[in-house]
Amino acid sequence: MTTAKDLFIVAMDPRPEHTVGQGDLSLALAGAELIDLIHAGAVTVDRDRIVPGEPPTPDDRLLGEAAARLARESPYERIEDWLWRRGRDLSASYQAALEEDGELTRKRSGRLSFGSEHVEPVDTPSRRRAADRWEEKEPVLAALASAVGIDAGEPDAEAGLDDEAVTTVVAAVHDAVMELEAVRQKRAIENAAFANLWRGP
């Protein structure tokens, strides 16, 4: 399992306080992929740019897809731009991949057979590994989860990060999630104003 898949499983926690927006999660998943590529030696970070190294051959299909989509021409891609480009609908891609791998299952909520469907993690070694990383407050996973509003119980989610490149990526994820929230709020205000205009005095 990759950091992105572990993060997805953590985000599937059914507790209400752990509800995560798909857009936020997609940005964080793109950041998790980038961090795994850094750890694999496939990329380095130069200030805010992603500098690719030798093309890796990850075992994970989605991580391999991420590596294949890296911009390999100077001046290279900014981390923020990568998060938005790679992150588009990425949570849906991870859900489909995890379902295909048998890590997620669809269940109906409610007692009636025609109740709405939802997905939940299956008790597999991969799920237990993700849970162990979460319980141990593994710094990278905790920092990415914090970016999407999941509290790992740490006063500073970035305190345990000892790699400057990883810290830079996590900070970019935080910024992108905040930017997305600002867009949501602006849209909500515009929609409310439009509704009031039609409603009249």
pLDDT of residue 113: 47
CB-based contacts of 42, cutoff 8 Å, min separation 6: 52, 53, 54, 55, 56, 67, 70
Q: SS3 for 77?
A: strand
d(CA 129, CA 139): 15
- Provide the whole-model pTM: 0.85
Q: SS3 for 43?
A: strand
**Helix (H), strand (E) at residue 186:** helix 164-199
Q: What string of DSSP letters covers 87-109?
A: HTTHHHHHHHHHHHTTSEEEEE-
User: What does the block give as tokens for 33?
Assistant: 């992929």
With 0-12 CB in 10 A as exposed, 13-18 as middle and 19+ as buried, what is 175? middle
Domain ranges of the chain: 3-174
d(CA 102, CA 121): 9
pLDDT of residue 155: 46
Written as one letter, the residue type at 90 is L
CB-based contacts of 91, cutoff 8 Å, min separation 6: 8, 22, 25, 26, 29
CB-based contacts of 1, cutoff 8 Å, min separation 6: 60, 126, 129, 130
d(CA 79, CA 85): 10
User: What does the block give as tokens for 99?
Assistant: 């379902």
- For tokens 């997305």, what's the residue? 180
From first to last of the 201 residues of the chain, give the pLDDT tens digit. Answer: 899 999 999 988 765 555 688 899 999 999 999 999 999 999 999 999 999 988 777 789 999 999 999 999 999 999 999 999 999 999 999 999 999 999 988 876 555 444 456 788 889 998 999 999 999 989 999 999 999 988 765 545 455 687 999 999 999 999 999 999 888 787 777 777 666 666 655
